[in-house]
Structure 1
Amino acid sequence: MATTDDSFDGLREHCDDCDRKTLHQVSVQIRTESRKEENAQFSREPYRVSECQNCGARSSQRMNNA
């Protein structure tokens, strides 16, 4: 689980590439999962996106696994 940092510009999380806790920029993105145009409006899902501010590694995780 991520912990808050004393600063307001990110979170400290474990980075697999750096192999230590580093400052990360975290955001939520809405992504369209369907490739079919007629279903695209029904296939948007929230993803948590985390980017290491040390090495630039990015990871994303679907937040709604229904």
Structure 2
Amino acid sequence: MATTDNSFDGLTEHCTDCDTDTLHQVSVQIRTESLKEENAEFSREPYRVAECQRCGSRSSQRMNNA
């Protein structure tokens, strides 16, 4: 679970690579999932992307599972 306690410049989350709670830079990216150009505008989905500020490991999670 992400928290902002004791962190003034990011979110503290558990990093599976570091195996500890570290600061993470978190953003939302819109990604196109379709490889077909004619349907690309209809296949955009939001993803939550978190990057560990200690080791650089990145994880992403699709936010809309419709």
Q: TM-score, normalised by structure 2?
A: 0.95
Which residue in the other structure is 1:15 paired with? Answer: 15
Please list the CA deviations of residues 3-27 of structure 1 after superposition, one character each: whole Å capped at 9, or x if unmatched: 01440x2100000000000000000
**Identity between Structure 1 and Structure 2 (%):** 83
Which residue in the other structure is 1:44 paired with? Answer: 44
Deviation at 1:44, TM superposition (A): 0.2
Gaps of 5+ in 2: none
In 2, distance between residues paired with 1:25 and 1:37? 31
In 2, distance between residues paired with 1:14 and 1:55? 12
Gaps of 5+ in 1: none
Which residue in the other structure is 1:29 paired with? Answer: 29
Which residue in the other structure is 1:58 paired with? Answer: 58
Letter in 1 for 2:20: R
Q: TM-score, normalised by structure 1?
A: 0.95
